[in-house]
Amino acid sequence: MVPKKNQFRNRDIPAEVLVEGIFKGDKALLAKAITLLESTRPDHFEKANSVIEKCLSKPNSSIRLGITGVPGVGKSSFIEVLGSLLTSLGKKVAVLAVDPTSSLSKGSILGDKTRMQSLSKDLNAFIRPSPSGSSLGGVARKTRESIILCEAAGYDVILVETVGVGQSETAVHSMVDFFLLLKLSGAGDELQGIKRGIMEMADAIAINKADGSNLERAKLAVVEFTRALHLYPPKENGWTPKVMQCSASENTGIREIWEMVEDFVAHNKESGHFDQKRKTQNKNWFLQTVDEHLKLFFHQKKTFVEAQDKMLRAIDENKISPFYAAKMLLDDVTKEL
Amino acid sequence: MVPKKNQFRNRDIPAEVLVEGIFKGDKALLAKAITLLESTRPDHFEKANSVIEKCLSKPNSSIRLGITGVPGVGKSSFIEVLGSLLTSLGKKVAVLAVDPTSSLSKGSILGDKTRMQSLSKDLNAFIRPSPSGSSLGGVARKTRESIILCEAAGYDVILVETVGVGQSETAVHSMVDFFLLLKLSGAGDELQGIKRGIMEMADAIAINKADGSNLERAKLAVVEFTRALHLYPPKENGWTPKVMQCSASENTGIREIWEMVEDFVAHNKESGHFDQKRKTQNKNWFLQTVDEHLKLFFHQKKTFVEAQDKMLRAIDENKISPFYAAKMLLDDVTKEL
3-class state of residue B23 by DSSP: helix
Q: Which of residues 83-122 of B touch A (CB under 8 A)?
A: 100-101, 104-106, 108
With 0-12 / 13-18 / 19 or more C-beta atoms within 10 angstroms meaning exposed / middle / buried, residue B113 is middle
Tell me the shortest Cα–Cα distance from A255 to chain B, in angstroms: 31
- Name the residue in chain B with its Cα closest to that of A196: B105
Query: What chain B residue is nearest to A276 in terms of C-alpha separation?
Result: B316
Identify from B57, B165, B232, B318 which residue to disrupt to test chain A contact, counting A C-beta atoms within 10 A and taking the largest count. Answer: B165
- Closest partner residue to B326 (CB to CB) among A290, A308, A337 is A290
C-alpha distance from B331 to closest chain A C-alpha (Å): 10
B71 CA: distance to closest CA in chain A (Å): 9
Rounded Cα distance between A323 and A327, Å, is 6
For residue B138, name the pLDDT band (cuts at 50, 70, 90).
confident
CA B244 to chain CA mean position, Å:
23
pLDDT at residue B11, rounded to an integer:
55
Is A52 in contact with B323 (Cβ distance < 8 A)? yes
* Whether A266 contacts chain B with CB within 8 A: no
pLDDT in tens, A252-293: 999 999 999 999 999 999 999 999 999 999 999 999 889 888
pLDDT at A44: 87
151-170 in A: which are within 8 Å (CB) of B? 163, 165-168, 170
* B293 has a chain A CB within 8 A of its CB: yes
Q: What is the mean pLDDT of residues B30-49?
A: 88
pLDDT tens digits for B189-229? 445 455 666 777 899 999 999 999 899 999 988 998 888 88
User: Cβ A100–B166 below 8 Å, yes or no?
Assistant: yes
Question: What are the start-end ranges of the H helices in chain A?
Answer: 15-24, 27-38, 42-56, 75-88, 102-105, 117-121, 136-152, 167-173, 196-201, 215-229, 254-271, 273-299, 302-316, 322-334
What structural domains does chain A harbor?
1-58 (1.20.5.170), 59-271 (3.40.50.300), 286-334 (no CATH)
What is the Cα–Cα distance from B168 to A194, expressed in whole angstroms? 19
User: Would residue A46 be called left, alpha or beta, if left means φ above 0 and alpha means ψ between -120 and 50 degrees?
Assistant: alpha
Interface check A137 vs B, CB under 8 A? yes
- Per-residue model confidence (pLDDT) at position A242: 94
Query: 3-state DSSP call for residue B270?
Result: helix
Cβ A330–B294 below 8 Å, yes or no?
yes
CA A34 distance to own-chain centroid: 13
User: Global pTM?
Assistant: 0.70
Per residue in B61-102, pLDDT tens?
A: 999 999 998 778 889 999 999 999 999 999 999 999 888 664
Q: What is the pLDDT of residue B19?
A: 97
pLDDT value for A104: 40
Shortest Cα distance, chain B CAs vs residue A88, angstroms = 33
What residues pair up with B163 in beta bridges, in sequence order?
Answer: B69
Residues 6+ apart with CB under 8 A from A326: A311, B286, B289, B290, B293
Under the phi-then-psi rule, with left for phi > 0, alpha for psi from -120 to 50, and beta for the rest, what region is A154?
left
Say if CB A116 and CB A80 are below 8 A apart: yes
Residue B132 carries which DSSP code? P
Is B322 within 8 Å of chain A by CB?
yes
CB pairs under 8 A between A and B: 161
Q: How confident is the model at residue B7 (pLDDT cuts 50, 70, 90)?
A: low
The mean pLDDT of chain B is 86
CA distance to partner chain B, nearest, from residue A282 (Å): 6
* Confidence check: pLDDT of B50 > 70: yes
- What confidence score (pLDDT) does residue A300 get? 85
**Inter-chain CB proximity A168 and B170 less than 8 Å:** no
- For residue B197, the chain A residues in CB contact (below 8 A) are 101, 104-105
Q: What is the pLDDT of residue B104?
A: 40
Q: Does A200 touch chain B (CB under 8 A)?
A: yes
**Residue B186 pLDDT level (bands cut at 50, 70, 90):** low
Residue of A nearest to B292 (CA): A295
Partner residue facing A297 (CB), from B49, B290, B330: B330
- CB contact A330 to B (< 8 Å): yes
- Averages of pLDDT over runs of 10 residues in chain A (337 residues) are 55 90 96 91 84 90 93 90 97 90 46 71 92 76 93 97 78 94 69 63 93 91 86 84 94 97 96 94 91 86 92 89 87 77
pLDDT tens, B102-129?
444 444 455 455 578 889 899 999 999 8
**Using one digit for the tens of pLDDT, what is the confidence trace for B146-165?**
999 999 999 999 999 997 66
Q: A333 and chain B: CB distance < 8 Å anywhere?
A: yes
**Per-residue confidence (pLDDT) for residue A205, from 0 to 100:** 93
- Calculate how close chain A gets to B87, using CA atoms only, in Å: 30
Pairing relation of β-strands A125-127 and A178-184? unpaired
Total count of residues recorded for chain B: 337
Question: What single DSSP character describes residue B234?
Answer: P
Of the residues A167, A194, A283, the best mutation for testing chain B's interface (the one with the most B CB atoms within 10 Å of its CB) is: A167
Min Cα–Cα distance to chain A from B263, Å:
25
Look at residues B181, B185, B182 and name the one whose alpha carbon lies nearest to residue B220.
Answer: B185
Flag if A334 and B52 touch (Cβ within 8 Å).
no
Helix (H, G, I), strand (E, B) or coil at B180: strand
The candidate with the shortest Cα–Cα distance to A308, out of A329, A293, A323, is A329
How many Cα atoms within 13 Å fall on the side-chain side of residue A87? 19
pLDDT of B15 higher than 60: yes
